[in-house]
Amino acid sequence: MNAFLVMCLFTFFLGGIFGTLQSLDKMQVDWYNFLPGPLRGLYYLGLTVHGVTLALMFVTFFIIPLLNLAVVHALKRPLKSRGLAQWSFWISLAGLVTTLVPVFMNQATVLWTFYAPLKAHPLFYTGLAFIVIGTWTTALNAYLTWRDWKREHPDERTPLQAFATLATWAMWVIASVGIAVSALYYLWPWSAGITDSINPLLTRSLYWFTGHPLVYFWLLPAYLSWYTMLPAQVGGRLFSESLARLVFLLFLPLAIPTGFHHMYTDPGVHANTKLVHAVLTFAVIFPSLITAFTVLASVEEGARRNGGKGLLAWVLALPWLSNPSVAGQLLAMLVFAMGGITGLINATFTMNLIVHNTLWVPGHFHTQVAGAVTLTFMAISYWMVPLLTGRALWGRKWAVIQVWLWAFGTMIMARGMHWMGIAGVPRRTFLSRAPYANFEEWEIAGLLVGWGGVILTVSALVWGVVLFMTAFVSKAPAKEEVPEAKPLIEAETMPALLDRITPWVVATLVLVAIAWLPPLYQIAVAHPSVRGWVLW
């Protein structure tokens, strides 16, 4: 597990460096010429590193140890196979190296979406497949561990933390089939010269088959913490266990049949298909609205037990300035709520015409993944790293400052990005060198993005220092354990369906087949395949 966290931090800081440069570019500070020799001036190489390391690797390498901890803690037994766990690590490490080597050799400057017919080095697609397979082996291990537990406890309900973990893995394993098929069956043979053409709309669709549920693969581990850990950390209980289970289960059928909302403006996809995916996109917001109530009610109960009073004044009884793990997660929720609203705007495909592929879109997903998810993971790290290293957290005050800086940095940067997006500034564009860039008009928005990025950079460095000092310098022994909240409303009368995953998997497969197979079939058979291009 520690080895995964080392890879997690490595990819975080590697991708973060380019994040800093990108945010500065938005206020016309072009530092790309200061990059060392072969990287000099290469904005899009940096952008590829930023997306691949942060969105595909950093989060995954945090989620794997977190979900393993949740299963081991909840089922009170070690993982079924130590060998499988080691294989997960070596496959993931192989994925990290094989993906990043061609990227840094400027052989795969295709961004993290790798839309064909931009053609990357074959190793790039192999490496991405390894990353996915590393998650599958971890999921298998969690399942086998649960199966052994179930054999010994046939009449017991699966503990919530283990149940939520299994639901998350089930969703992800189904969702990641799209990217795996795209990378291994279509892109790799084409890039290796075995096939000579590619259907760009098909690989793009398969990308978004996985690409949207990917955000729930980031989010559900954060929800796991908000539901089952945070209430205990504030001295409260989980408001309703049944609804917590329902929320995790609802993400199974609803997360995947939404991907065409990333392709609202694409030709070659029928408008009715887009409409179906729009309905389901609105539906998948529903479990997050339930979460808003259940998690806040749980936190409120904890605050009142600690002397919180009044209609709203109980909020002040929460440890905003004394407990970095709690403060970080509460701030993450605030940022997440903002991003939920901008997400609704994106989902509304008529309004989406104003913002599609502008800086608004990275503004939105930075509140969600850089804000809510990453900040929650940072907050979790403040108990997880002490637990795994056996050393008490070093510099608690610094940790508190760090989470506040991260929340403010995200909000300031995202505010600027949304603003520039509304003004029509395209995303993934080297603005400092774009002849049409009108920095006078965007000035304040650009400054928000740039300085927001600077605040995030400072916060990232503080996080790194706190974790380093905790792991290597801190002398006091850690007293941490995995937080686990007891339910306030006991789930005694809970329907049996809320303790089973198989029926939900079946429902998911049916819904996915209805929403994806007809358009994918039509795209695969009716649309032309084209040659590849290396344009960087």
Residues between 443 and 462 with contacts to other proteins, criterion CB under 8 A: none
| Single residue of 20, 358, 368, 459 touching other proteins by CB under 8 A | 358
Report the C-alpha dihedral over residues 393, 396, 398, 402, rounded to 10 degrees: 80
Q: How far apart are the two ends of the chain, measured CA to CA in Å?
A: 38
**Contact letters (x/-) for other proteins, 240-259, by CB under 8 A?**
x-xx----------------
262 is catalytic: no
Which of 13, 428, 468, 527 is catalytic? The answer is 428
State how far the Cα of 381 lies from the Cα of 375, in Å rounded to an integer. 10
- 3-class secondary-structure state, position 452: helix
Nearest to 277 by CA among 341, 348, 206, 207: 348
Contact indicator for 182, 206 with CB cutoff of 8 Å: yes
Residues between 368 and 427 with contacts to other proteins, criterion CB under 8 A: 424, 426-427
| Residue 436 engages other proteins in binding (rule: CB under 8 A) | yes
Taking the complex as a whole, how short is the minimal distance between the CB of residue 523 and other proteins, in angstroms?
A: 9
| Residue 356 engages other proteins in binding (rule: CB under 8 A) | yes
| Single residue of 81, 195, 306, 357 touching other proteins by CB under 8 A | 357
427 is catalytic: yes
216 is catalytic: yes
| Residue 117 engages other proteins in binding (rule: CB under 8 A) | yes
147 is catalytic: no
Residues between 171 and 200 with contacts to other proteins, criterion CB under 8 A: 199-200
Q: In terms of C-beta density within 10 A (0-12 exposed, 13-18 middle, 19 or more buried), how is residue 327 classed? A: buried
Residue type, 503: P
Stretch that binds other proteins, among 6-14, 151-159, 267-275, 460-468 (CB under 8 A): 267-275
Which of 365, 377, 382, 415 is catalytic? The answer is 365
CB nearer to other proteins: give 80 or 245: 245
| Residue 533 engages other proteins in binding (rule: CB under 8 A) | yes
| Residue 433 engages other proteins in binding (rule: CB under 8 A) | yes
Contact indicator for 114, 187 with CB cutoff of 8 Å: yes
Which of 58, 125, 186, 216 is catalytic? The answer is 216
| Residue 344 engages other proteins in binding (rule: CB under 8 A) | yes
**Residue owning tokens 């209805």:** 514
Residues between 473 and 502 with contacts to other proteins, criterion CB under 8 A: 489, 491, 493-495, 498
State how far the Cα of 426 lies from the Cα of 437, in Å rounded to an integer. 10
Which of 212, 237, 245, 356 is catalytic? The answer is 212
Contact indicator for 179, 185 with CB cutoff of 8 Å: no
**Contact partners, residue 258, CB within 8 Å, separation at least 6:** 212, 213, 277, 280, 281, 284
| Residue 528 engages other proteins in binding (rule: CB under 8 A) | yes
What is each CA distance from 209 to 68, 89, 275, 381, in whole angstroms?
A: 26, 26, 16, 30
Which of 366, 391, 415, 418 is catalytic? The answer is 366
Q: Which residues are catalytic?
A: 212, 216, 364-366, 427-428
